[in-house]
Structure 1
Amino acid sequence: MDLLQRIQRWYTINCNGDWEHSYGLSVWHGISVQTLDNPGWMVSIDLKDTCLDASAVPYVLHERSTVNWFGYKVEKEKFEGVGGPENLTEILAYFLDTFIPENIDPSSTLEVYLPVLGYEEQIWLHAETRMISESKVEIVSISNPESTNAVMWRSDKELDLLAQSEISLADLQTEFAVGDRIEPYIFQADDNMLRTFLVSPAKK
């Protein structure tokens, strides 16, 4: 997976229906890549409400020449990397290969929904996970299907099918277990454009 795909995965894995939305003109959650006039690049990555939001790094500069240089800092819940005209890949590689693994908060969790056996791509069961890398999480707990908000569905049709069947919520099962590692993706329910959530692919 190349650097661009990996930074896309970092963005995707943090999208949960809330994080990716802006909260006013001065507050945003996301990634920006801009050019500098000296010349060079600046990469800003918002860390608020992620497993990296407790990080703080003073400015560090690696200057090899006037056109080959790389610097970074983390303050106010934002990673900022800068570099020369040929150093964009170095900025992204540092964030993905060094900064993320060194600064993941192991107590920070992400909500993920796991496919229910017999209802793959239709009904999912809530789980809590912790980040392992920019694209992978490890399951730390799986909700009781009878608990509040434990089940997510594609559309009301799936709920109607459950109601008409002899299967109760307590019977819903997933083949995943605590300790499994997965690469979730974004799913958007059919019946509500705002109901966006992370789901795990079915096991192969």
Structure 2
Amino acid sequence: MDLLQRIQRWYTINCNGDWEHDYGISVWHGISVQTLDNPGWIVSIDLEDTCVKQADLPYVLHERNTTDWFGYKVENGKFEGVGGPENLSEILSYFLDTFLPAHIDPTCTLEIHLPVLGYENRLWLKAEAKMLSESVVEITAVADRQHSQSYEWGLDTDLDLLNELESSLSELQVDYVLGDNAEPYVFQSNDNMLRTFLVAPSKS
């Protein structure tokens, strides 16, 4: 997976219907990649409300020559990397391979949704997962499948399905167990854009 795909995964894994609205609304929030007039690059990545431990890092500069340089800092809940015209990949690589693994909070969990067998892309069981990398999470808790509030649905018509199944919810199954890893993606309902949530892929 190349660096751009991995940054896409970082963004995806944090999207939950709320975070992207709070931190993805302008070039100075979420993830921003811009050019400098040095020449060079500046990359800003919001860390607020993510599973990255809140920490301030003073500015560090690695200067090899006037066009080959790279620096970074973390302050006010934001990672900022800068570099020369050929150093964009080094900035992204540092964030993904060095900074992120060292600062993931092992006690932080994300809400994730597990596909219900036989009702894939229609019903999901709520669960919690901890972040292992920018792409991968580990399932740490699964909601009680006997309660209707433990589920999310796709279309409004799938809510009718959930209501029909209410007397047999305990019989519904998912393919995931505690300790399983997943590479989640964002689901957004076709008939209600406000229903956006992170889901684990179907194993079958």
TM-score, normalised via structure 2 length: 0.93
CA contact (8 A) 1:59 1:72 kept: yes
Match of 2:101 in 1: 101
Match of 1:132 in 2: 132
Task: For residue 166 of structure 1, report the CA deviation from its aligned partner.
Answer: 7.8
The answer on 1:76 being equivalent to 2:110 is no
Please tell me the residue identity of whatever aligns with 2:45.
I
Task: For residue 29 of structure 1, report the CA deviation from its aligned partner.
Answer: 4.3
Task: For residue 25 of structure 1, report the CA deviation from its aligned partner.
Answer: 8.2
CA contact (8 A) 1:115 1:125 kept: yes
The C-alpha deviation readout for 1:106-157, integer Å capped at 9, x for no partner, is 0111100000111111100001000011011000000002347310001232
Task: For residue 72 of structure 1, report the CA deviation from its aligned partner.
Answer: 0.3
SS state at 2:161 partner: helix
Q: 1:24 to 1:113 in 2, by over 3 A?
A: closer
Please tell me the residue identity of whatever aligns with 2:144.
N
**Alpha-carbon distance between aligned partners in 2 of 1:111 and 1:24, rounded to the nearest angstrom:** 19
Q: Which segment is superposed worse, 159-168 or 91-100?
A: 159-168
The C-alpha deviation readout for 1:67-114, integer Å capped at 9, x for no partner, is 100000101100000000100000000001111101100011110000
- Runs of at least 5 residues in structure 1 that lack an aligned partner in the other structure: none
In angstroms, what is the RMSD of aligned CA positions?
2.1
**Alpha-carbon distance between aligned partners in 2 of 1:143 and 1:166, rounded to the nearest angstrom:** 15
SS state at 1:188 partner: strand
The C-alpha deviation readout for 1:1-37, integer Å capped at 9, x for no partner, is 1100110110011000000013798996410011111
**Alpha-carbon distance between aligned partners in 1 of 2:22 and 2:48, rounded to the nearest angstrom:** 12
Q: Which segment is superposed worse, 3-12 or 22-31?
A: 22-31
SS state at 1:174 partner: coil
Q: How many residues align?
A: 204
Match of 1:3 in 2: 3
**Alpha-carbon distance between aligned partners in 1 of 2:75 and 2:125, rounded to the nearest angstrom:** 36
Within 5 Å, which residues of 2 pair with 1:39-50? 39-50=39-50
Within 5 Å, which residues of 2 pair with 1:45-64? 45-64=45-64
Please tell me the residue identity of whatever aligns with 2:98.
T
Bigger helix fraction? 2
Please tell me the residue identity of whatever aligns with 1:201.
P
**Alpha-carbon distance between aligned partners in 1 of 2:132 and 2:166, rounded to the nearest angstrom:** 39
**Alpha-carbon distance between aligned partners in 2 of 1:123 and 1:170, rounded to the nearest angstrom:** 14
**Alpha-carbon distance between aligned partners in 1 of 2:160 and 2:102, rounded to the nearest angstrom:** 46
**Alpha-carbon distance between aligned partners in 1 of 2:180 and 2:163, rounded to the nearest angstrom:** 30
CA contact (8 A) 2:147 2:169 kept: no
TM-score, normalised via structure 1 length: 0.93
